[in-house]
């Protein structure tokens, strides 16, 4: 067993959790199986595996900033449900 009930109780006390004896026993069993699995993973030879930050290759999806003409006021207001000729008209919030 990789972890004891006393260690689980210590951690629950640090986390200010109140666990019953049955919950401590269940948590000890679950944490022990997790630690055993991690130990099994540590047996793998990863010496030839390059460090990565992502499982798949990621490319920047952003476009380059380019100065270009912006949308005019008339075109911006064209599909507005309510407008006054100069700006969008929205319901009063306050």
31-51 residue pLDDT tens? 999 999 999 988 889 888 888
CATH number of 5-42: 1.10.20.60
Contacts of 8 (CB under 8 A, 6+ apart): 19, 24, 27, 28, 31
DSSP codes joined into one string, 13-43: HHTT----HHHHHHHHHHHHHHHHHHHHHHT
The pTM score is 0.49
pLDDT per residue over 43-85, tens digit each?
Answer: 889 888 888 888 888 788 788 888 999 999 999 999 999 999 8
DSSP state of 83: B
All structural domains of the chain with their residue ranges: 5-42
């Amino acid at each position: 067993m990789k972890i004891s009930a006393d260690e689980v109780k210590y951690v629950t006390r640090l986390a200010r959790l109140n666990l019953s004896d049955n919950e401590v026993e269940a948590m000890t069993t679950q944490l022990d199986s997790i630690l055993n699995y991690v130990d099994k993973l540590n047996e793998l030879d990863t010496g030839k595996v390059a460090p990565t930050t992502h499982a798949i290759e990621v490319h920047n999806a952003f476009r380059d900033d380019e100065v270009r003409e912006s949308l005019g006021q008339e075109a911006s207001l064209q599909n507005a449900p309510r407008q006054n000729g100069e700006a969008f008209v929205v319901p009063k919030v306050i």
